[in-house]
Amino acid sequence: MGKNVLIIGASGDIGIAIAKQLVKEEYKLLLHYNANRKMVDDLRKHVNESDILAVFQADLSEATAVKRFLAELVFPMDSIIFASGLAYSGVFQDTPEVTMDKMINLHVKSPWLIVKYLLPQMINQRSGDIIFITSIWGEQGASNEVIYSSVKGAQNSFVKALAKEAAPSGISVNAVSPGFIETKMNRHLHGAEKDALISEIPMNRAGRPDEVAHAVSFLLSNQSSYIQGEIINLTGGW
């Protein structure tokens, strides 16, 4: 296919799975990461050098880092995938204000700024894809994860609203909303706690990062050309 895809949060388990899937489909990738450079370097060892156009490091919870990151985006962009995420667990009234600011900046404001920067280019070419990896908690909400649920809910609302605005310009905007997926974010669950959670899932197992990647691949393909403003649940029926 040869289209350029920017993956925000490419060093996470889901981000890496998406990158691996899209390389197979001959997309050209631009990879963003914050702290886990090793995951990106390991990926580069297993793909052709020409498959990855650029790698960027930026803490997108920091305003100055976002501005620097945007200045580095010199390649034309066909698609953007937001796969970055930071969970926060704790009772809401004990949440520090600095944590609130960080979660809003990372999950809401920095995606706004990135899309605002790249959208004019997509409008000019009258094509493009914007995909968010959100969360089941963005719709259902979760106790002890009120902040995370709130920012993921904001992403869902952004997708639905922007989709209406961007559709006349030929730009698709959608999201994949995973349930319980086997990732680093969920590795704090052990033994009985994990078993109890999985027992609530009708498919009786956790999802895999590659299953999220397949959904993203579908949304980037021509087969999904009439899907717009949708939050596709990937939850095993949970």
**Burial of 131 from C-beta contacts in 10 A (0-12 / 13-18 / 19+):** buried
How many domains is the chain built from? 1
pLDDT value, residue 2: 77
* Structural domain of 214: 4-234
Q: Averaged over 179-200, what is the pLDDT?
A: 78
**Distance, CA of 77 to CA of 121 (rounded, Å):** 8
pLDDT value, residue 221: 97
Residue type, 32: H
Could you tell me if 80 and 114 are in contact, meaning their C-beta atoms sit under 8 angstroms apart? yes
Task: Find the CATH number of the domain harbouring 174.
Answer: 3.40.50.720
Residue type, 105: N
Asked whether residue 1 carries a pLDDT value surpassing 60, the answer given is no
Question: 3-class DSSP state for residue 158?
Answer: helix
**Whole-angstrom distance between the N-terminal and C-terminal Cα of the chain?**
35
How does residue 197 score in pLDDT terms, banded at 50, 70 and 90? confident
Asked whether residue 189 carries a pLDDT value surpassing 80, the answer given is no
Residues across the chain = 238
CA 128 and chain centroid, separation: 16
Question: 3-class DSSP state for residue 8?
Answer: strand
Give the count of beta carbons closer than 10 Å to the beta carbon of residue 18: 31
Could you tell me if 131 and 81 are in contact, meaning their C-beta atoms sit under 8 angstroms apart? yes
CA atoms within 13 A on the CB side of 80: 24
Tokens of 203: 């498919």
Mean pLDDT, all residues of the chain: 94
Cα angle at 175 between 177 and 48, to 5 degrees?
Answer: 100
Which of 238, 232, 234 is closest to 204 using CA atoms? Answer: 238
In the 3-class helix/strand/coil scheme, how is 198-224 assigned residue by residue? Answer: HCCCCCCCCECHHHHHHHHHHHHCHHH
- Higher-confidence residue of 204 and 213: namely 213
Could you tell me if 5 and 27 are in contact, meaning their C-beta atoms sit under 8 angstroms apart? yes
Active site residue ranges = 148
Tokens of 76: 């034309």
Could you tell me if 236 and 202 are in contact, meaning their C-beta atoms sit under 8 angstroms apart? yes
pLDDT tens readout for residues 221-238: 999 999 999 999 999 988
CA atoms within 13 A on the CB side of 226: 0
Asked whether residue 206 carries a pLDDT value surpassing 60, the answer given is yes
How does residue 185 score in pLDDT terms, banded at 50, 70 and 90? low
DSSP 8-state code for residue 178: E
